[in-house]
Amino acid sequence: MSASAIDLQQRAPNFWQSTNGKKIVMAVTGFILFLFLIGHLLGNLLVYAGPERFNSYAEFLHFDGTLLWIARSILIIAVVLHIIATVQLAVRNKKARPVGYSRKKAINSSYASRTMYWSGPIVLAFVIFHLLEFTAGTIHPGTVFIPGDVYHNVVTGFQVWWVSAWYIIALILLGFHLRHGLWSMFQSFGVPHSLPRERANKRWALVVAVILIAGYISIPISVLTGLLK
């Protein structure tokens, strides 16, 4: 075995075990999921173009089963690594500060950062429910799931008020998670730090998160208000 191969085998575990390594893994996997959110939203907004266009888009996504499962596998691996790194960092931070503050104050922290760890599992539960309802069709309250008729399944699914409410609440939490995650990503990637740059990054992350979440939320709201039928 070459010296370079041995060196790589030694560096990989050390990278994963380090705090900075876990933060970089969180940043990279988070960026992959962020790109997915953008692409998924652009596709979902085709629902406003009508049933034929939206169903054609859904059919296009399944034109090659191999490519579809490659994409799904990348997303699953990204989600798993993101969760593992997040949980391990949370445990490491707790061990580093075993004695709680006598008086806890939110100094230099946002609501998004303080809820980062518990908002993640809620969003994950929402994603599982979302897939079971709109992809698998095993959970579709209030109406019949029609395989292939994605437009019908989306509209009738969101006509159930508590499904739309759960969707909206979960996406708002995702927005907080996304806002803090995008800002943290710059730090993990080693972007030069300064107070003006940090403020600009926070504003950019907030704007992007609001635009994305507003786009997703517009669909159940349009269904509930009768704009989509």
pLDDT digit string (tens) for 20-44? 888 888 888 889 999 999 999 999 9
Dist. CA 109–CA 26, nearest whole Å:
19
| Closest C-alpha among 122, 218, 104, 108 to residue 176 | 122
Better-scored residue on pLDDT, 212 or 17? 212
Answer whether 177's CB lies under 8 Å from 123's CB: yes
At 107 the pLDDT is 43
CA 122/CA 140 separation, integer angstroms: 20
Indicate the DSSP class of residue 171. Answer: H
Amino acid letter for position 30: G
Q: Is the pTM of this model over 0.85?
A: no
Cα–Cα distance between 226 and 10 in angstroms, integer?
59
85-120 tens-digit pLDDT: 888 887 887 777 655 544 444 444 555 555 556 666
Structure-model confidence comparison of residues 8 and 215, the more confident one:
215
List the domain boundaries for the chain. 18-98+110-224
CA distances from 180 to 113, 120, 175 (A): 6, 12, 9
Residue in this structure with the two tokens 């994305």, named with its chain if needed:
212
40 contacts 215 by C-beta, under 8 angstroms = no
Q: What band does 4 get if pLDDT is binned at 50, 70 and 90?
A: low
d(CA 36, CA 129) in angstroms, rounded, equals 18
Confidence of residue 140 (pLDDT cuts 50, 70, 90): confident
**pLDDT given for residue 148 in this prediction:** 87
Please, where are the H alpha helices in the chain? Answer: 3-17, 19-44, 51-61, 65-96, 111-114, 116-131, 150-158, 161-188, 195-224
Tens of pLDDT along 58-92?
998 888 778 888 888 998 898 888 888 888 887 88
Q: What pLDDT, on a 0 to 100 scale, did the predictor assign at position 1?
A: 54
